Amino acid sequence: MGIARIINTNMPKKNISVIIAVIILVVLLAGALYMYENKKTAQPSNNNQQQEQNNNQNNQQNQTNTQSSDLKAKTLELVGLANAGKKEDALNGYLALLKDNPDDLLLLNNTAVLYSDMANWTKSEEYYKKLIAVHPDFIQGYRMLAYLYEYRFNDDEGKIKATIDDGLAKNNNNSDLLNWIIAYYQEKGEGEKALPYSKILAAELNQSIKK
């Protein structure tokens, strides 16, 4: 029913104005009530959406933890195979796992070690390089690669120095690496080559004492 049909045209203009004002007020109140009700019903929806997001995050975290546990379990099985002398089977297992987990520290390390045990020095070098490229803070990786160059690559001093220098640059002159290269040169009777590293180590020690 339109507003014009509600209003009696014979009524005084003042009364007509009052009626129109009342009708407008009613319409506005109805609109406000409608918006309020919609807001109330939308709020649980937002809560549900947040809860669903939280559930998804928890599920993803649980899935990640499960996958990590499974990977560790499989890796330990392969360690057992290698220790039992089934090195080819262990190696094939490591390489298969690395396809889906190319950055896993333990897999890369074990693969490099196993290749070395199997006298495949080139492959061992390859995987040690992959290891420290992905995990530049893994100090043992630099040391093992340096040992490989020392004992399996005819004491390649150039590669040894480059490996240790790389580790020192990426790990704030790590004292373990400094001690390693100092001992290496001293054992060779080349103390003069160890001197620069000894100075760095002394400076690092003095700095730590001051702190």
- Inform me whether the pLDDT recorded for 8 exceeds 60: no
Instruction: Please state, rounded to an integer, the average pLDDT across all residues of the chain.
Output: 81
**pLDDT > 90 in the chain, percent:** 64
Please say if the pLDDT value at position 66 is more than 80. no
Query: For residue 184, what are the domain limits?
Result: 119-210
Residue 36 lies inside a defined structural domain of this protein: yes
* Concatenated DSSP letters of the chain: --HHHHS-TTS-HHHHHHHHHHHHHHHHHHHHHHHHHHHHHHHHHHHHHHHHHHHHHHHHHHHHHHHHHHHHHHHHHHHHHHHTT-HHHHHHHHHHHHHH-TT-HHHHHHHHHHHHHTT-HHHHHHHHHHHHHH-TT-HHHHHHHHHHHHHHTT--HHHHHHHHHHHHHHTTS-HHHHHHHHHHHHHTT-HHHHHHHHHHHHHHHHHHHH-
Is position 45 within any domain?
A: yes
Do 54 and 126 lie in one domain? The reply is: no
Residue with tokens 């520290």: 105
The answer to whether residues 46 and 127 belong to one domain is no
Asked whether the predicted pLDDT for residue 209 surpasses 50, the reply is yes
Domain boundary (43, 58, 73) is at 58
Q: Is the pLDDT score of 92 beyond 70?
A: yes
pLDDT at 196 > cutoff 60? yes
Same domain, 54 and 125: no
**Confidence bin at 187 (pLDDT 50/70/90):** very high
Residue 88 Cα distances to 34, 78, 80, 85, angstroms? 73, 10, 12, 9
Range scoring the smallest mean pLDDT among 11-25, 62-76, 98-112, 188-202:
11-25
Say if residue 158's pLDDT is above 70.
Answer: yes
Q: Does the structure show a pLDDT above 70 at 3?
A: no
Nearest 5°: phi and psi at 64? Answer: -65, -45
Residue 70 lies in a domain: no
pLDDT at residue 174 greater than cutoff 90: yes
Single out the residue in 39, 58, 77 at which a domain terminates. 58
Report yes or no on 12 lying in a domain.
Answer: yes
Spatial contact of 85 and 112, defined as CB atoms under 8 Å apart: no
> Is residue 25 over pLDDT 90?
no
Q: Would you say residue 94 lies in a domain? A: no
Q: What is the mean pLDDT of residues 199-207?
A: 91
Whole-prediction pTM: 0.69
Question: Domains in the chain: how many in total?
Answer: 2
The CATH number linked to 158 is 1.25.40
Residue 107 lies in a domain: no
What pLDDT does 207 receive? 81
Given this model, what pLDDT does residue 17 score?
54
Q: Which of 42, 58, 74 is the last residue of a domain?
A: 58
Residue 97: inside a domain, yes or no? no
Check residue 47 and give its pLDDT.
Answer: 57
Same domain, 42 and 123: no
Residue 186 lies inside a defined structural domain of this protein: yes
The answer to whether residues 124 and 52 belong to one domain is no
